[in-house]
Amino acid sequence: MADTPSYGSSRETLDKMGEALKGARRLCVVTHDNPDPDSVSSAFALAYLSKNLFKVRATVKYGGIVGRPENRAMIRVLGLRMSELTEKDFSAGTAFALVDMQPGTGNNSFPAKRKPAIIIDHHPQRKTTRADLMHIRTDYGATATMLTELLLASELDIPTPLATALSYGISSETQDLGREAGERDIAAYLALFPKSNKKMLASIEHPKLPVDHFVTLNKALHHTVVYKNAVATCLGEIDNPDSVAFIADFMLRLERMSWCMCLGRYRDKIIVSIRTTNQQGRAGRFLRSLLGKRGTAGGHGMIAGGQVPCSMEHESCTRLEEELVKDFMRKLGYKEDAAMTPLLLVSEPDGGPR
Protein backbone atom coordinates (compact mmCIF):
# COMPACT_ATOMS: atom_id res chain seq x y z
CA MET A 1 0.00 0.00 0.00
CA ALA A 2 1.03 3.62 -0.25
CA ASP A 3 3.85 4.93 1.90
CA THR A 4 2.76 7.45 4.46
CA PRO A 5 3.85 10.77 2.99
CA SER A 6 5.90 13.06 5.17
CA TYR A 7 4.16 16.26 6.16
CA GLY A 8 7.44 18.08 6.86
CA SER A 9 7.28 20.11 3.66
CA SER A 10 3.55 20.66 4.23
CA ARG A 11 4.39 22.40 7.51
CA GLU A 12 6.76 24.72 5.64
CA THR A 13 3.99 25.46 3.15
CA LEU A 14 1.65 26.29 6.07
CA ASP A 15 4.27 28.70 7.47
CA LYS A 16 4.47 30.42 4.10
CA MET A 17 0.67 30.53 3.99
CA GLY A 18 0.68 32.34 7.33
CA GLU A 19 3.17 34.86 5.91
CA ALA A 20 1.08 35.36 2.77
CA LEU A 21 -2.02 36.06 4.89
CA LYS A 22 -0.31 38.50 7.25
CA GLY A 23 -2.23 41.77 7.39
CA ALA A 24 -5.20 40.43 5.39
CA ARG A 25 -8.61 41.25 6.84
CA ARG A 26 -10.38 38.69 4.73
CA LEU A 27 -9.48 35.90 2.33
CA CYS A 28 -11.41 35.31 -0.84
CA VAL A 29 -10.80 31.79 -2.21
CA VAL A 30 -11.62 31.55 -5.91
CA THR A 31 -12.29 28.37 -7.92
CA HIS A 32 -12.10 28.09 -11.69
CA ASP A 33 -15.25 28.77 -13.74
CA ASN A 34 -17.95 26.09 -13.73
CA PRO A 35 -16.13 24.57 -10.76
CA ASP A 36 -15.64 20.81 -10.39
CA PRO A 37 -15.50 18.86 -7.10
CA ASP A 38 -11.70 19.09 -7.02
CA SER A 39 -11.71 22.89 -7.03
CA VAL A 40 -14.78 23.27 -4.78
CA SER A 41 -13.47 20.93 -2.07
CA SER A 42 -9.99 22.49 -2.28
CA ALA A 43 -11.48 25.96 -1.87
CA PHE A 44 -13.43 24.98 1.25
CA ALA A 45 -10.36 23.27 2.72
CA LEU A 46 -8.27 26.41 2.18
CA ALA A 47 -11.01 28.63 3.66
CA TYR A 48 -11.11 26.31 6.69
CA LEU A 49 -7.33 26.58 7.17
CA SER A 50 -7.52 30.34 6.84
CA LYS A 51 -10.24 30.66 9.48
CA ASN A 52 -9.06 28.07 11.97
CA LEU A 53 -5.27 28.18 11.69
CA PHE A 54 -4.66 31.82 10.77
CA LYS A 55 -7.86 33.45 12.11
CA VAL A 56 -8.53 35.19 8.80
CA ARG A 57 -12.19 35.22 7.70
CA ALA A 58 -12.63 33.44 4.39
CA THR A 59 -15.30 33.05 1.73
CA VAL A 60 -15.45 30.82 -1.34
CA LYS A 61 -16.22 32.40 -4.72
CA TYR A 62 -16.67 30.92 -8.18
CA GLY A 63 -17.33 31.97 -11.76
CA GLY A 64 -19.69 30.48 -14.34
CA ILE A 65 -22.30 28.01 -13.10
CA VAL A 66 -22.42 24.71 -11.23
CA GLY A 67 -24.21 22.49 -13.72
CA ARG A 68 -23.20 18.86 -13.25
CA PRO A 69 -25.86 17.11 -11.14
CA GLU A 70 -23.21 15.45 -8.92
CA ASN A 71 -21.59 18.82 -8.20
CA ARG A 72 -24.93 20.43 -7.37
CA ALA A 73 -25.70 17.50 -5.07
CA MET A 74 -22.32 17.91 -3.37
CA ILE A 75 -22.99 21.56 -2.57
CA ARG A 76 -26.54 20.86 -1.38
CA VAL A 77 -25.89 17.70 0.64
CA LEU A 78 -22.79 19.08 2.37
CA GLY A 79 -24.29 22.54 2.93
CA LEU A 80 -21.37 24.32 1.22
CA ARG A 81 -21.91 28.08 1.01
CA MET A 82 -20.34 29.74 -1.99
CA SER A 83 -21.30 32.63 -4.24
CA GLU A 84 -20.31 34.26 -7.50
CA LEU A 85 -17.15 36.39 -7.66
CA THR A 86 -18.15 40.03 -8.26
CA GLU A 87 -16.51 43.48 -8.44
CA LYS A 88 -17.47 44.05 -4.79
CA ASP A 89 -15.10 41.28 -3.69
CA PHE A 90 -12.10 43.36 -4.74
CA SER A 91 -12.18 45.60 -1.68
CA ALA A 92 -9.18 46.87 0.32
CA GLY A 93 -7.81 44.41 2.86
CA THR A 94 -8.98 41.36 0.89
CA ALA A 95 -6.36 38.78 -0.02
CA PHE A 96 -7.08 36.31 -2.84
CA ALA A 97 -6.29 32.64 -3.16
CA LEU A 98 -6.75 30.60 -6.34
CA VAL A 99 -7.20 26.84 -6.21
CA ASP A 100 -6.95 24.30 -9.04
CA MET A 101 -6.12 27.07 -11.54
CA GLN A 102 -3.79 29.94 -12.36
CA PRO A 103 -4.50 33.43 -13.72
CA GLY A 104 -4.76 33.93 -17.46
CA THR A 105 -5.64 30.36 -18.48
CA GLY A 106 -9.03 31.37 -19.91
CA ASN A 107 -10.97 29.09 -17.53
CA ASN A 108 -11.48 31.56 -14.70
CA SER A 109 -12.89 34.97 -13.81
CA PHE A 110 -9.89 36.23 -11.82
CA PRO A 111 -8.24 39.31 -13.43
CA ALA A 112 -5.16 37.96 -15.24
CA LYS A 113 -2.94 40.90 -14.21
CA ARG A 114 -3.74 40.79 -10.50
CA LYS A 115 -1.34 39.00 -8.13
CA PRO A 116 -3.07 36.69 -5.66
CA ALA A 117 -1.64 35.96 -2.19
CA ILE A 118 -1.89 32.18 -2.63
CA ILE A 119 -2.08 29.71 -5.52
CA ILE A 120 -2.50 25.98 -4.90
CA ASP A 121 -2.71 23.98 -8.10
CA HIS A 122 -1.71 20.71 -9.78
CA HIS A 123 -1.57 22.06 -13.34
CA PRO A 124 1.79 22.93 -14.92
CA GLN A 125 3.11 26.28 -13.73
CA ARG A 126 2.75 29.08 -16.27
CA LYS A 127 5.68 31.42 -16.84
CA THR A 128 3.57 34.42 -15.89
CA THR A 129 2.14 32.96 -12.67
CA ARG A 130 3.00 35.01 -9.55
CA ALA A 131 1.77 34.78 -5.93
CA ASP A 132 3.21 35.21 -2.43
CA LEU A 133 2.71 31.49 -1.86
CA MET A 134 2.83 29.31 -4.96
CA HIS A 135 2.20 25.67 -4.06
CA ILE A 136 2.14 24.25 -7.60
CA ARG A 137 2.92 20.58 -8.17
CA THR A 138 2.12 18.47 -11.21
CA ASP A 139 2.79 15.15 -9.44
CA TYR A 140 -0.61 15.24 -7.74
CA GLY A 141 -3.72 13.73 -9.32
CA ALA A 142 -5.93 16.28 -7.55
CA THR A 143 -5.57 19.69 -5.92
CA ALA A 144 -7.79 18.24 -3.15
CA THR A 145 -4.89 15.90 -2.29
CA MET A 146 -2.57 18.87 -1.79
CA LEU A 147 -5.10 20.51 0.55
CA THR A 148 -5.67 17.24 2.44
CA GLU A 149 -1.93 17.00 3.14
CA LEU A 150 -1.94 20.59 4.44
CA LEU A 151 -4.96 19.90 6.66
CA LEU A 152 -3.33 16.76 8.09
CA ALA A 153 -0.10 18.69 8.72
CA SER A 154 -2.06 21.46 10.49
CA GLU A 155 -3.37 18.86 12.99
CA LEU A 156 -6.76 20.58 12.95
CA ASP A 157 -9.83 18.34 13.12
CA ILE A 158 -11.31 17.72 9.69
CA PRO A 159 -15.12 18.10 9.98
CA THR A 160 -17.23 15.41 8.31
CA PRO A 161 -18.63 17.58 5.46
CA LEU A 162 -15.14 18.80 4.57
CA ALA A 163 -13.66 15.28 4.67
CA THR A 164 -16.56 14.06 2.51
CA ALA A 165 -16.09 16.92 0.03
CA LEU A 166 -12.34 16.28 -0.26
CA SER A 167 -12.70 12.53 -0.70
CA TYR A 168 -15.26 13.13 -3.45
CA GLY A 169 -12.94 15.78 -4.94
CA ILE A 170 -10.11 13.24 -5.15
CA SER A 171 -12.21 10.32 -6.38
CA SER A 172 -14.06 12.27 -9.06
CA GLU A 173 -10.93 14.04 -10.34
CA THR A 174 -9.04 10.73 -10.65
CA GLN A 175 -12.02 8.54 -11.69
CA ASP A 176 -11.87 6.53 -8.46
CA LEU A 177 -8.07 6.77 -8.22
CA GLY A 178 -7.64 5.19 -11.67
CA ARG A 179 -6.66 8.26 -13.71
CA GLU A 180 -3.50 10.25 -13.01
CA ALA A 181 -3.59 9.22 -9.34
CA GLY A 182 -0.36 8.54 -7.46
CA GLU A 183 0.53 7.30 -4.00
CA ARG A 184 -0.12 10.70 -2.45
CA ASP A 185 -3.67 10.72 -3.78
CA ILE A 186 -4.30 7.22 -2.46
CA ALA A 187 -2.82 8.09 0.96
CA ALA A 188 -4.93 11.27 1.21
CA TYR A 189 -8.07 9.39 0.17
CA LEU A 190 -7.42 6.68 2.79
CA ALA A 191 -6.88 9.32 5.49
CA LEU A 192 -10.19 10.99 4.60
CA PHE A 193 -12.24 7.82 4.16
CA PRO A 194 -12.91 7.10 7.87
CA LYS A 195 -13.89 10.74 8.39
CA SER A 196 -16.32 10.84 5.43
CA ASN A 197 -20.06 10.25 5.60
CA LYS A 198 -20.75 7.30 3.26
CA LYS A 199 -24.49 7.99 2.93
CA MET A 200 -23.77 11.56 1.85
CA LEU A 201 -21.08 10.33 -0.54
CA ALA A 202 -23.50 7.89 -2.13
CA SER A 203 -26.18 10.53 -2.62
CA ILE A 204 -23.60 12.84 -4.23
CA GLU A 205 -22.35 10.12 -6.57
CA HIS A 206 -25.82 8.97 -7.63
CA PRO A 207 -28.02 12.08 -7.73
CA LYS A 208 -31.42 12.35 -9.39
CA LEU A 209 -30.95 13.64 -12.94
CA PRO A 210 -32.96 16.45 -14.60
CA VAL A 211 -34.67 15.82 -17.97
CA ASP A 212 -32.06 18.08 -19.61
CA HIS A 213 -29.47 15.48 -18.83
CA PHE A 214 -31.22 12.88 -20.98
CA VAL A 215 -31.83 15.41 -23.75
CA THR A 216 -28.08 16.10 -23.84
CA LEU A 217 -27.35 12.38 -23.88
CA ASN A 218 -29.72 11.92 -26.82
CA LYS A 219 -28.09 14.79 -28.70
CA ALA A 220 -24.64 13.37 -27.98
CA LEU A 221 -25.53 9.91 -29.29
CA HIS A 222 -26.76 11.42 -32.56
CA HIS A 223 -23.80 13.76 -33.04
CA THR A 224 -20.86 11.49 -32.41
CA VAL A 225 -18.45 10.19 -35.03
CA VAL A 226 -15.90 7.43 -34.69
CA TYR A 227 -12.70 6.81 -36.56
CA LYS A 228 -10.39 3.94 -35.58
CA ASN A 229 -9.63 4.58 -31.89
CA ALA A 230 -10.90 8.19 -31.82
CA VAL A 231 -14.38 9.47 -31.05
CA ALA A 232 -15.68 13.04 -31.38
CA THR A 233 -18.98 14.61 -30.31
CA CYS A 234 -20.46 18.01 -31.24
CA LEU A 235 -23.22 18.96 -28.82
CA GLY A 236 -24.10 22.27 -30.51
CA GLU A 237 -25.81 24.82 -28.23
CA ILE A 238 -25.84 23.72 -24.58
CA ASP A 239 -27.39 25.17 -21.41
CA ASN A 240 -24.94 23.48 -19.10
CA PRO A 241 -21.22 23.95 -19.80
CA ASP A 242 -20.39 20.91 -17.64
CA SER A 243 -22.06 18.59 -20.18
CA VAL A 244 -18.97 18.83 -22.39
CA ALA A 245 -16.67 17.17 -19.84
CA PHE A 246 -19.38 14.70 -18.85
CA ILE A 247 -19.95 13.55 -22.45
CA ALA A 248 -16.19 13.37 -23.09
CA ASP A 249 -15.76 11.00 -20.13
CA PHE A 250 -18.80 9.01 -21.22
CA MET A 251 -17.77 8.58 -24.87
CA LEU A 252 -14.24 7.53 -23.97
CA ARG A 253 -15.85 4.46 -22.43
CA LEU A 254 -16.82 3.20 -25.89
CA GLU A 255 -14.87 0.01 -26.47
CA ARG A 256 -11.52 0.33 -28.31
CA MET A 257 -11.47 4.15 -28.00
CA SER A 258 -8.35 5.79 -26.66
CA TRP A 259 -8.96 9.45 -27.64
CA CYS A 260 -12.08 11.52 -27.31
CA MET A 261 -13.02 15.11 -28.06
CA CYS A 262 -16.29 16.81 -27.16
CA LEU A 263 -17.42 20.30 -28.25
CA GLY A 264 -20.34 22.36 -26.96
CA ARG A 265 -21.42 25.94 -27.61
CA TYR A 266 -22.09 27.97 -24.48
CA ARG A 267 -22.73 31.73 -24.68
CA ASP A 268 -20.06 33.05 -27.09
CA LYS A 269 -17.57 30.20 -26.71
CA ILE A 270 -17.05 26.69 -27.97
CA ILE A 271 -16.06 24.63 -24.93
CA VAL A 272 -13.66 21.77 -25.72
CA SER A 273 -12.84 18.67 -23.68
CA ILE A 274 -10.18 16.10 -24.54
CA ARG A 275 -9.81 12.73 -22.86
CA THR A 276 -7.34 9.93 -23.54
CA THR A 277 -6.58 6.56 -22.01
CA ASN A 278 -2.93 7.00 -23.01
CA GLN A 279 -0.92 7.82 -19.88
CA GLN A 280 1.71 9.50 -22.05
CA GLY A 281 -0.97 11.36 -23.99
CA ARG A 282 -0.02 14.87 -22.80
CA ALA A 283 -3.60 15.93 -23.37
CA GLY A 284 -3.01 19.52 -22.22
CA ARG A 285 -0.21 20.07 -24.71
CA PHE A 286 -2.18 18.20 -27.41
CA LEU A 287 -5.19 20.49 -27.03
CA ARG A 288 -3.14 23.69 -26.87
CA SER A 289 -1.45 22.83 -30.13
CA LEU A 290 -4.74 21.66 -31.68
CA LEU A 291 -6.44 24.99 -30.92
CA GLY A 292 -3.41 27.15 -31.66
CA LYS A 293 -4.31 30.84 -31.80
CA ARG A 294 -8.00 29.99 -32.08
CA GLY A 295 -8.41 29.56 -28.32
CA THR A 296 -6.95 28.80 -24.89
CA ALA A 297 -6.51 25.46 -23.18
CA GLY A 298 -5.01 23.74 -20.19
CA GLY A 299 -4.86 20.28 -18.74
CA HIS A 300 -2.79 17.37 -17.62
CA GLY A 301 -1.67 14.05 -19.09
CA MET A 302 -5.01 12.39 -19.76
CA ILE A 303 -7.57 15.21 -19.58
CA ALA A 304 -7.67 18.71 -21.01
CA GLY A 305 -10.15 21.51 -21.46
CA GLY A 306 -10.21 24.63 -23.55
CA GLN A 307 -12.35 27.33 -25.10
CA VAL A 308 -12.60 28.94 -28.51
CA PRO A 309 -14.35 32.32 -28.80
CA CYS A 310 -17.15 32.22 -31.39
CA SER A 311 -19.44 35.21 -31.49
CA MET A 312 -20.26 34.70 -35.17
CA GLU A 313 -23.51 33.38 -36.62
CA HIS A 314 -24.65 29.77 -36.36
CA GLU A 315 -23.27 28.47 -39.70
CA SER A 316 -19.75 29.79 -39.09
CA CYS A 317 -19.72 28.22 -35.62
CA THR A 318 -20.79 24.91 -37.10
CA ARG A 319 -18.01 25.16 -39.71
CA LEU A 320 -15.48 25.96 -37.00
CA GLU A 321 -16.63 22.91 -35.02
CA GLU A 322 -16.29 20.67 -38.07
CA GLU A 323 -12.82 22.06 -38.65
CA LEU A 324 -11.86 21.30 -35.03
CA VAL A 325 -13.07 17.70 -35.35
CA LYS A 326 -11.08 17.23 -38.57
CA ASP A 327 -7.98 18.77 -36.97
CA PHE A 328 -8.42 16.44 -34.00
CA MET A 329 -8.50 13.38 -36.26
CA ARG A 330 -5.59 14.70 -38.35
CA LYS A 331 -3.47 15.33 -35.28
CA LEU A 332 -3.94 11.67 -34.40
CA GLY A 333 -2.61 10.80 -37.84
CA TYR A 334 -5.92 10.14 -39.63
CA LYS A 335 -6.05 11.82 -42.98
CA GLU A 336 -9.24 10.50 -44.58
CA ASP A 337 -12.05 12.60 -43.10
CA ALA A 338 -14.57 10.68 -45.16
CA ALA A 339 -13.96 7.55 -43.13
CA MET A 340 -15.48 8.99 -39.96
CA THR A 341 -18.61 6.99 -39.09
CA PRO A 342 -21.60 8.15 -37.04
CA LEU A 343 -21.56 6.27 -33.74
CA LEU A 344 -25.07 4.85 -34.18
CA LEU A 345 -24.08 3.30 -37.52
CA VAL A 346 -20.88 1.71 -36.26
CA SER A 347 -22.56 -1.59 -35.41
CA GLU A 348 -24.20 -1.94 -38.83
CA PRO A 349 -22.53 -4.35 -41.27
CA ASP A 350 -21.02 -1.75 -43.63
CA GLY A 351 -21.06 1.01 -41.11
CA GLY A 352 -17.43 1.38 -40.29
CA PRO A 353 -14.36 0.12 -38.60
CA ARG A 354 -15.69 -3.20 -37.24
What is the CA angle 206-143-279, rounded to 5?
80
Q: What DSSP string runs through 193-244?
A: GGGS-HHHHHHHHS----HHHHHHHHHHHHTEEEETTEEEEEEEE-S-TTHH
Give the nearest distance from C-beta 348 to Mn ion in angstroms: 39
Q: What DSSP string runs through 297-309?
A: EEE-SSEEEEEEE
Give the nearest distance from C-beta 122 to Mn ion in angstroms: 6
Give the nearest distance from C-beta 173 to Mn ion in angstroms: 5
- Is residue 342 left, alpha or beta, with left meaning phi > 0 and alpha meaning psi from -120 to 50? beta
Q: Applying CB under 5 A, what is the total number of residues that bind Mn ion? A: 3
Residue 256 φ/ψ, nearest 5 degrees: 75, 0
Nearer to Mn ion, 38 or 242 (CB): 38
Site track for Mn ion across 100-129, x = CB under 5 A: x-----------------------------
Instruction: From 37-45, 55-63, 75-83, 326-334, give the range in contact with Mn ion by CB under 5 A.
Output: 37-45
Give the nearest distance from C-beta 169 to Mn ion in angstroms: 8
**Are 216 and 238 within 8 A, CB to CB?**
yes
Residue 33 found at the interface with Mn ion (CB under 5 A): no
Give the nearest distance from C-beta 143 to Mn ion in angstroms: 5
Instruction: From 137-145, 207-215, 235-243, 266-274, give the range in contact with Mn ion by CB under 5 A.
Output: 137-145
In sequence order, what are the residues at sequence separation of 6 or more whose Cβ sits closer than 8 angstroms to the Cβ of residue 52?
154, 156
Helix (H, G, I), strand (E, B) or coil at 122: coil
Site track for Mn ion across 38-77, x = CB under 5 A: x---------------------------------------
Nearer to Mn ion, 34 or 341 (CB): 34
Q: Would the CA dihedral through 44, 45, 50, 53 be positive or negative?
A: positive
Find the DSSP H helices in the chain: 8-21, 37-54, 69-77, 143-154, 160-173, 183-192, 198-205, 211-222, 243-251, 283-291, 314-331
Nearer to Mn ion, 121 or 321 (CB): 121
Instruction: From 80-88, 132-140, 142-150, 307-315, give the range in contact with Mn ion by CB under 5 A.
Output: 142-150
Helix (H, G, I), strand (E, B) or coil at 334: coil
Give the nearest distance from C-beta 5 to Mn ion in angstroms: 19
By beta carbon distance, the residue nearest Mn ion is: 38
Which residues would be at the binding site for Mn ion (CB under 5 A)? Answer: 38, 100, 143
